[in-house]
């Protein structure tokens, strides 16, 4: 039986930290509705202590999107009472609310950022969890900069906050420093110890993409026992971004024989969600971005186009329909062959061409393709029309 992986979406919190990507209340609620349709398990709607506007938006998400039990709504707090109160007062309207708090565990955070001892920081974390538990049953604790933390201190922190009542432990690779094998080994050890202490507490990961390894690190964590993945749509987020939800989910699905897990994501909603986030946040998706980029399902080489028309599996490991696109896209360029051009003409309704007519039209196509980067449908109409005009004149 395959294991369930929880998907926690932080597009509205970590994703919104992208400079210039600020959303208004209406946009946040619309995106949250779409994330619910996509099937995420948990939405992190914002950081309510940061501004009145964000508090109001998180509250609106809790009221309008968190009104059913099948989705959990959370928001971020530092491990201080005022932040925790702010999260509570914003998310408490949801059927299934959670408080998420963060406190660093690396020496850099403990000593340089907080100028405190490890014992002091540990105590602050434990007290904050105990306080949050007086407000809500669900509390997530994030050990910020976990991947650069001394392992036994990291574990001691996790063990202590679990005993204080944390129901989810999130292990962030805050600065994208981790490497898949090393991160996977760390998660394996933590999972082993956590499940011995309390098998009901979920182990989560939150990977950043500073070295381009956010998705790989997230997948390595899943392989090594992580129960939950934190992601954003289109991989947006602080600096180089977070693990992209669409990449993690489609990798788990496409390579299911390796991972043997399932998510409750409705993958057919991926493109709709990607486009909504991109348009509301004003952030273009890189054209070659895996899964959601414009070129992710576009084929331009003649050899590939020919192969695809014979068998789609030749160059397609994810079917466009699975992420909500109509079909694969064959880009007609000077490198396209007869097979692709004929296919494009047939789609436009030119199905009864004699072979010698097609050859004449293909010649016209090649002439135009040499002058242009791409030949579009409207160009094909002109090519066909001018071929028949010339042909008719010659035969008149
Ligand atoms: O990157 C990080 O460590 C975070 C935490 C708040 C989970 O965003
Ligand atoms: Zn983050």
Segment among 66-75, 118-127, 189-198, 370-379 with least mean pLDDT: 370-379
Q: Is the pLDDT of residue 68 over 80?
A: yes
SS3 of the chain: helix, strand, coil, percent, to 5: 50, 15, 35
**How many CB atoms neighbour CB 211 within 10 A?**
15
Percent of the chain at pLDDT above 70?
100
Q: Which pLDDT band, with edges at 50, 70 and 90, does 349 fall under? A: confident
Q: Which pLDDT band, with edges at 50, 70 and 90, does 395 fall under? A: confident
Q: According to the 3-state scheme, what is the secondary structure of the chain?
A: CCEECEEEECCCCCHHHCCCCCCCHHHHHHHHHHHHHHCCCEEECCCHHHCHHHHHHHHHHHHHCCCCCCCEEEEEEECCHHHHHHHHHHHCCCCCEEEEEEEECCHHHHHHHCCCCHHHHHHHHHHHHHHHHHHCCCEEEEEECHHHCCHHHHHHHHHHHHHCCCCEEEEEECCCCCCHHHHHHHHHHHHHHHHHHCCCCEEEEEEECCCCCHHHHHHHHHHCCCCEEEEEHHHCCCCCCECEHHHHHHHHHHCHHHHCEECCCCHHHHHHHHHHHHHHHCCCCCCCCCCCCCCCCEECCHHHHHHHHHCHHHCCCCCHHHHCCCCCEECECCCCCHHHHHHHHHHCCCCCCCHHHHHHHHHHHHHHHHHCCCECHHHHHHHHHHHHHHHHHHHC
Segment among 97-106, 238-247, 351-360 with least mean pLDDT: 351-360
User: Distances from the Cα of 163 to the Cαs of 79, 235, 287, in angstroms?
Assistant: 16, 33, 47
Q: Is the pLDDT of residue 327 over 80?
A: no
pLDDT of res. 184: 98
Q: Which pLDDT band, with edges at 50, 70 and 90, does 348 fall under? A: confident
Residue nearest to atom 6 of ligand 1 (CA): 102
Q: Is the pLDDT of residue 383 over 80?
A: yes
Distance 174 CA to ligand 2 centre (A): 6
| Rg of the chain in Å (alpha carbons) | 26
On whether 299 is known to bind a ligand per the annotation, the reply is no
pLDDT of res. 100: 99
pLDDT of res. 221: 98
pLDDT of res. 336: 95
Contacts of 110 (CB under 8 A, 6+ apart): 104, 116, 117, 118, 121
Distance 242 CA to ligand 2 centre (A): 7
Residue nearest to atom 4 of ligand 1 (CA): 174
For the segment 336-360, the average pLDDT, to the nearest whole number, is 92
On whether 206 is known to bind a ligand per the annotation, the reply is yes
pLDDT of res. 394: 79
Instruction: Indicate the top mutation candidate among 206, 218, 243 to test ligand 1's pocket, ranked by most ligand atoms within 8 A of CB.
Output: 206
What is the average pLDDT score of the chain? 96
Percent of the chain at pLDDT above 90?
93
pTM, full prediction: 0.91
Q: Which pLDDT band, with edges at 50, 70 and 90, does 328 fall under? A: confident
pLDDT in tens, 26-56: 999 999 999 999 999 999 999 999 999 999 9
pLDDT in tens, 140-197: 999 999 999 999 999 999 999 999 999 999 999 999 999 999 999 999 999 999 999 9
């Amino acid at each position: 039986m395959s294991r369930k992986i929880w998907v926690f979406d932080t597009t509205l919190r970590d994703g919104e930290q992208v400079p210039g990507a600020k959303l208004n209340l209406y946009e946040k609620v619309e995106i949250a509705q779409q994330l619910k349709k996509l099937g995420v398990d948990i939405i992190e709607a914002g950081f309510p202590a940061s501004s009145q506007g964000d508090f109001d938006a998180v509250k609106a998400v809790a009221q309008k999107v968190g009104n059913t039990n099948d989705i959990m709504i959370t928001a971020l707090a530092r491990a201080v009472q005022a932040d925790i109160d702010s999260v509570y007062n914003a998310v408490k309207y949801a059927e299934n609310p959670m408080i998420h708090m963060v406190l660093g565990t690396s020496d850099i955070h403990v000593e340089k950022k907080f100028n405190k001892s490890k014992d002091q920081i540990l105590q602050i974390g434990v007290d904050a969890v105990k306080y949050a538990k007086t407000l809500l049953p669900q509390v997530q604790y994030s050990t910020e900069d976990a991947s650069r933390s001394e392992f036994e201190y990291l574990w001691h922190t996790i063990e202590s906050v679990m005993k204080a009542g944390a129901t989810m432990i999130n292990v962030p690779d805050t600065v994208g420093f981790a490497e898949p094998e090393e991160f996977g080994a760390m998660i394996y050890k933590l999972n082993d110890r956590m499940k011995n202490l309390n098998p009901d507490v979920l182990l989560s990961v939150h990977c950043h993409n500073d070295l381009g390894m956010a998705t790989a690190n997230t997948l390595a964590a899943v392989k090594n026992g992580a129960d939950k993945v934190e992601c954003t749509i289109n991989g947006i987020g602080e600096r180089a971004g977070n693990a992209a939800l669409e990449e993690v989910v489609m990798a788990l699905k496409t390579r299911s024989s390796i991972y043997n897990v399932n998510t409750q994501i409705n993958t057919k909603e991926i493109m709709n969600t990607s486009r909504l986030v991109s348009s509301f946040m004003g952030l273009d998706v890189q054209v070659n971005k895996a899964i959601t980029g414009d070129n992710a399902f576009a084929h331009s080489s003649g050899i590939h186009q020919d192969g695809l028309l014979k068998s789609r599996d030749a160059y397609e490991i994810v079917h466009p329909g699975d992420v909500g696109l109509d079909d694969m896209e064959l880009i007609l360029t000077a490198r396209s062959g007869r097979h692709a051009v004929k296919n494009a003409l047939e789609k436009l309704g030119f199905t009864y061409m004699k072979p010698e007519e097609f050859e004449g039209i293909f010649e016209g196509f090649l002439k135009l393709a040499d002058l242009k980067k791409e030949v579009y449908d409207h160009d094909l109409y002109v090519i066909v029309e001018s071929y028949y005009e010339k042909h008719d004149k010659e035969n008149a």
